[in-house]
Each structure stands twice: as C-alpha cells, then as structure tokens.
Amino acid sequence: MKQRYTKDVLLFAAGKGLVGLVFFGYLAASAHLLAKEDFSLFQSLMGLHGIVMMIGLPLNISAMHLVAAAADTHRRATLGAVLRLAFICALIVAGTLLVLTPFLTARLHAQTVRPVLCLAALAPVNILLVVFHGGLQGRNRYGAFSSARIVEAAIVCSAGVALMLAGMRVAGALGGYLVGMTVLCFYFGARRDLYDTGGSAGAVRHEMRVLIRPLLVSGVLLVISNLPMLIARARLPPGAASDYATLFVLRYGVLVFAEAVAWPLYTRIVAGEEEPGMLRTGLRLVALLGIAFIALGLLQPAVLFRLVFGEAFATAAAHMTGYGVFMLLYMLAMVMLYCRAARGNLSSWAIVLPVIVIAGLLVIPDISPDRIIAAQSLASAVCLGAATFGGRRA
C-alpha cells in the first residue's frame, strides 16, 4: 500500500511528461509556422478554451471523485451518469460560443471567424473527453490514462502541423487539437466496459453536495491560470501580448507534472487509500519543479527562446523569472487545495480572494506583463495561505 501513491505519480508523470514534451514541440512549431500576431491569437483562444473548461474540468473532477468513491459494481453506471450531464453541458457550451463568435472575433482582433468556430467545436469535444479521463483516474488506471494521452498528443501534433502547412494558420493550430480529441472521444465511446449510460444516477445525486469543493478548486485554478491570457490579448500592445503568450506556453512544461502529483493525491484520499507522507511528498515534488523553473529564468533564457520559438520571441525571456515565482506558488497551492477539497476542509477565502485579485486586472491602469504575473503570484499566494492555515468548510 505504501508505494501505490508513488507508483500512480510516476505513471502519471511519465505519461504527462511525454505528452507535455510533444505539446511543447507542437507549440514551438506553431511559433515558427505562425506570425507572431497569429501565435498570440492562438494562445489567447487556448486561454479562452481554458476558461470554458471551468465547466469541463470540474466534470473531470466529478467523474474522478464519483468513480473513485463508488463500489466496483456501480462504477460503469456512475461514469455514464456524469457523461449524460457532460453531454448537456457540451451542447450549451457549443451554442454559447457560436452565439458569441462575432463578439469574440472582434474583441480578440481576429481577422476571420474561423479560429473562433474551431474553438466552438473543440470545447464540447474536450468536455466529453475529460469525463472519460476522469473515469480512468477514478479507477486509478493511470497507465491506461497516460497511454491514451500520448496517442492523443501524437494525433494533435501531426494533424495540426499538416493543417498549418496547408495554410489554415490559427484555425489549423486549433484544428489539430480538434482532430486528436475527436478521435479519442470516439475510441472511448466504443469502450462500453467503461460506462453504462442506462444506469441509475442515484449515486451521483447522493455525492453532488460533496462535489462542490473540487468544483470550486478547479474553477479558481483555471481563473488564475487562464483568464490573464485573455486580459493580456485584450489590453496589452501586440508585442507585449505575444511575450506573455510565450510564457503562457512554458507553463505546460511544469503543470503536467503538478497535475501528476495533485490528482492521484485527491483520488487516493477520496477512495480512503491515503498513505502516510503523501502530502509532504507531493509538496516537495512541485517545489522542485518550481525552483527549477526559476533557476532556468535566472540563467540566460533568451537563448532558449530564440532556439525554441524564434528570434521574435526572445524578449519574453525578461519575464521568465517572475513567471517562475508564480508557477511555484501556483503548484503548491494546487496540491494544497485538492488535498483540502478531498478531506472536506476547504477555506472559503481560498476561493473568493484569488478571483478578486485576478478580476482587478480588468480595471487597473497601465497594465504590463509584469503586473499580470504579479497579480497571478499574489492570487496563488492567497490560495496557498488559505489552504494551509484555513480550516473552515467552504
């Protein structure tokens, strides 16, 4: 029993690490294949996708939590019930994005509606896909989960590069994600050993009150991480917005490992399989990741930016150390928040105050990449402090 959490983390981290490497290569290729302005738009739409996934990722957490808590004989029916809810949410999201397409096209300074239409197709597919992922995570089948993510990443990269080379630009970059996620959705949809849509939803209804905590955690984390990218695109000059978009890409290099620490911790606690020292181990791992990110920023990162993204993106290196501080605080807060949520002891301040801090970026004058990063660091520190010292139920 003592080694099961470590094994989960290693399997998850190995798969997520390889997936992160493939996606990082894909984003680096996108930076070379797209103009700097197009790359900024691409990352802004990915930031918007992250905000939309405030619906999808909580469903992922719901599937993960409910399947982990359910008896073996009820897990298929439980996942099926979450999938039914996810399908309804996917339809609502698709319709909303279609209605908002003209507004988003204008606000994000896109030249055509095609990138926003691609996002409108991508978001509902991803909502369904992350529920299937949650089902695998809830069963602690991290090997199968990692394998599926690797296949998805390979398809995304191949399809996206082909579409961009065909001249589809930002729509092609998003289209790669759409192709890869759609293929995996159809694959999981054919796996009837994972779910049963005709089963009873009684277990889901019984647990819905408990799900409020992980839903709030995933929501506030998405706001801190993704909303600033949209604000940067809307409020910063094009060059500064592109610099922030480049930093936004770099977060994938560490966040995949932070998730590999936080999610198995959550499912083990919910399933009643908590091991001694799990939390300390998780915090140490993410602290090492954050420190490594900061150290890289203190060296000569401009060379890295030139090699990976191209000469036009080298100016983003000036902000990398500050972004590393944000990532360190953010990952520590992620682990503590999910631990608190799993144990049912989450402070309300961990949810309210960080959102207020990030919302302030919408109104403060003279915004800059450094001010955006400082706000993200402050919001993450508030989360960390509230999760560490706060014990009141949310």
Among 169, 231, 221, which Cα is nearest to 44's? 231
Average pLDDT over the chain reads: 84
| Arithmetic mean of pLDDT, 125-144 | 86
- pLDDT of 107 reads 85
Among 177, 147, 142, which Cα is nearest to 159's? 177
- pLDDT of 392 reads 47
- pLDDT of 137 reads 81
| Arithmetic mean of pLDDT, 107-136 | 91
- pLDDT of 3 reads 59
Residues 6+ apart with CB under 8 A from 324: 290, 293, 294, 295, 296, 297
pLDDT band per the 50, 70, 90 thresholds, residue 209: low
CA–CA distance, 266 with 346 (Å, rounded to integer) = 13
**Structure tokens belonging to residue 17:** 């690490």
| Arithmetic mean of pLDDT, 202-227 | 74
Angle between helices 252-270 and 4-33 (to 10 degrees): 150
CA–CA distance, 118 with 150 (Å, rounded to integer) = 22
Give the tens place of pLDDT for each residue, 231-248: 888 888 888 888 898 888
Does the pLDDT at position 391 exceed 60?
Answer: no
pLDDT band per the 50, 70, 90 thresholds, residue 387: confident
| Arithmetic mean of pLDDT, 11-25 | 76
Does the pLDDT at position 273 exceed 70?
Answer: yes
Nearest-10 Cα torsion for 155, 161, 163, 164: 150
Give the tens place of pLDDT for each residue, 144-179: 888 888 899 999 999 999 999 999 999 999 999 999
The answer to whether the pTM exceeds 0.85 is no
| Arithmetic mean of pLDDT, 307-315 | 81
CA–CA distance, 287 with 296 (Å, rounded to integer) = 14
Residues 6+ apart with CB under 8 A from 204: 66, 78, 81, 82, 85
Does the pLDDT at position 344 exceed 90?
Answer: no
| Arithmetic mean of pLDDT, 51-74 | 77
The length of the chain is 394
Q: Half-sphere exposure of residue 120, counting CA atoms within 13 Å on the CB side?
A: 17
pLDDT band per the 50, 70, 90 thresholds, residue 97: very high
Residues 6+ apart with CB under 8 A from 352: none
| Arithmetic mean of pLDDT, 351-365 | 89
| Arithmetic mean of pLDDT, 8-20 | 73
Coil/strand/helix, residue 352: helix
| Arithmetic mean of pLDDT, 50-65 | 76
pLDDT band per the 50, 70, 90 thresholds, residue 2: very low
Top-confidence range, 43-47, 194-198, 302-306, 340-344: 43-47
Does the pLDDT at position 343 exceed 80?
Answer: yes
Does the pLDDT at position 202 exceed 60?
Answer: no
- pLDDT of 346 reads 78
Of the candidate ranges 7-21, 24-38, 80-94, 155-169, the one whose mean pLDDT is the lowest: 7-21
Place of tokens 């819905």: 208
| Arithmetic mean of pLDDT, 5-17 | 71
